[in-house]
């Protein structure tokens, strides 16, 4: 085998190996990090008596998760997906008030952490981090933290809420 043939074979192997690595999907990451429990429908009641529901549902052969959030007078729909080139998990979404948002998912102290920035229809931006922790198979606790524009997260949550898993039809 001459040098040119060797380089072509080497380049082919590198391209195939890189392509295989880039094919990892969100479902693999969720399994690897142990966050499968998050998938499903969850409901909580605030101290004010409002009902909040979250639903995380697999889409597109586990390449994405749809997100649906609802509470009185507010509704949000979003999508979570893995960007292989950036090696991050992203969430984007819109709400029924004309707002939109984007964020990234990571792990923090065994919890699934969403660092999220939401811009309302009147251009007001809110930043927060939401930690999702498993209490047991049917209970999830969320903690909301203040977050600044650099991504720094406050050490103490400003709000906590406990959700119960809901049966789906």
Joined together, the tokens standing for residue 127 give 């930043």
> What's the rounded Cα separation, in Å, for the pair 121 and 32?
37
Residue 144 has pLDDT above 60, yes or no: yes
Write down the pLDDT at residue 151: 86
- Name the nearest CA neighbour of 117 among 148, 79, 154: 148
Residue-averaged pLDDT of the chain: 87
Q: Is residue 54 scored above 80 in pLDDT?
A: yes
SS3 62: coil
**Domains, the chain:** 25-166 (2.40.128.20)
Which pLDDT belongs to residue 2? 56
**CA–CA separation, 43 and 12 (whole Å):** 50
Confidence of residue 23 (pLDDT cuts 50, 70, 90): low
Distance CA 167, CA 169 (A): 7
80-116 pLDDT, tens digit per residue, is 999 999 999 999 999 999 999 999 999 988 999 999 9
pLDDT at 14 over 90: no
Distance from C-alpha of 160 to C-alpha of 119, rounded to nearest angstrom: 22
* Confidence grade of residue 66 (pLDDT, cut at 50, 70, 90): very high
- What local confidence, expressed as pLDDT, does residue 1 receive? 58
DSSP 85-126: TTTEEEEEEEETTS-EEEEEEEEETTEEEEEEEEE-TTS-EE
| Token pair for 61 | 């052969």
């Amino acid at each position: 085998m001459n040098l040119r043939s060797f380089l072509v074979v080497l380049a082919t192997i590198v391209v195939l190996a890189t392509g295989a690595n880039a094919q990892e999907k969100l479902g693999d990451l969720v399994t690897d990090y142990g966050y499968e429990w998050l998938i499903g429908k969850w409901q909580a009641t605030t101290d004010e008596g409002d009902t909040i529901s979250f639903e995380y549902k697999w889409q597109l052969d586990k390449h994405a998760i749809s997100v649906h959030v609802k509470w009185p007078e507010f509704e949000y729909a979003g999508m979570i997906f893995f960007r292989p080139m950036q090696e991050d998990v992203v969430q984007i979404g819109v709400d029924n008030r004309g707002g939109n948002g984007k964020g990234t998912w990571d792990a923090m102290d065994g919890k699934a952490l969403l660092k999220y920035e939401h811009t309302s229809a009147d251009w007001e931006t809110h930043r927060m981090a939401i930690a999702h922790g498993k209490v047991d198979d049917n209970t999830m606790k969320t903690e909301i933290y203040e977050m600044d524009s650099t991504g720094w997260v406050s050490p103490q949550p400003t709000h906590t809420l406990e959700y119960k898993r809901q049966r789906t039809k």
